[in-house]
Chain A
Amino acid sequence: MIIITAMSLPFLSKKPIDLPPIVSVELIQITDQTNIPFAPKAKKIIEKIKEKEKKLTTEQAPPKIVKKVKPDAVPLPDEKIDKIKKIKDKKQNPEKIDNKVKQVSEFEKDDLFDPNNIAALIDKSKVESAETKNKTDKVTQNQEKNADFTRLTLSEEDALKAQIFGCWSIPLGLPYDEDLLVRIKLQLKPDGSIIRSEILDHARMNKPGQGFYKVLAESALRAIKLCQPLRVPSTGYERWKDLQLNFDASEMLKG
């Protein structure tokens, strides 16, 4: 074995290479690490989807015209108190998995649920069918008798889907071959604004190795916020006041 130093090799610069030392990083929060392969997407397929995307967005009606926001109806939680609490929580604690879980649930309950408000807001004037008439009599107590439609009509569903498609920024680089379905349960006001949103298996968000799930869940929540008020049908509030959205990006990512 020949060992040659920098001085004896004419092709090496004499100056020792001055590379900065590794930065010392004090991590305040530890993030999960995963090794899941992400979705490969063929160029053409994406382009095709993008084409479809364009069509979709152009088909969309501007949401604001449809809905009137009733400001007095929006329950406002005491945001300031919430914030201060959060900042305190953030005090540099590297092991805060418990805290994180707490935070998530806090986040979901951002807006407080007020049943009285809902009852007051039901738009009775437009209830026409026999089934829903039945509902209006007993408003909240007797739900089991009321709901019979387990679906929205196709056009209703399409309108809602089209709206959310436009709001949802799919996190690029997610794996497509993972079980990445985020189910969000919403409680809605008649105007389509959100009273409450809940990720159905939100515990998964903070499990190690579920970084992609968390990213997808957060993007779904952002989409809902951005779309608010949702483009809901103008009738049949009882039918859709609880609504579940299933976010699944695999089709888009796979192409």
Chain B
Amino acid sequence: MNLSNVLKNGFLIIVASLVLTACATQKKASTGQMQGDVYTGTDTVEYLASGVPDRVFFATNETVLTTASRETLRKQATWLRKNSSINVVLEGHADERGTREYNLALGERRANSAKDYLMTYGISSDRISVLSYGKERPVDSGSNPLAWSKNRRSVTVKAN
């Protein structure tokens, strides 16, 4: 079971990184803090524990995890395995450039992408709940592509 998961994920990562490199060559990274339109900076990032970032970022209208996101989530999974008494809420968010109701669904999807990934690393679904905020709780109140990229996120929050 675990082995097949690892294999599957390994495959996904390869596919994802291929896709990403393809994207990166097409789109110019607009700033040092974005790749494509996915946020890669650390301004808003908080840490669950030393070296364990609490959030992952998404491309516009996307719910697919990037390579960096997967890396972050694997760190979270390791940390969660070590701290088996801790439960988490995955809060999914969207940027302000979408209709409210669709964004609620999108936020839900993003948080679930993260949840599914954590589960493939052996974290029980009992320990993870999901909460979508849609576009209701931006971290950056700016109306520009960088601010929006920071807001397209799934944040892992300690529930207890």
Is there a direct interface between A and B, measured as CB atoms under 8 Å apart in the complex? Answer: no
Which B residues form the contact surface with A (CB < 8 A)? none
Which A residues form the contact surface with B (CB < 8 A)? none
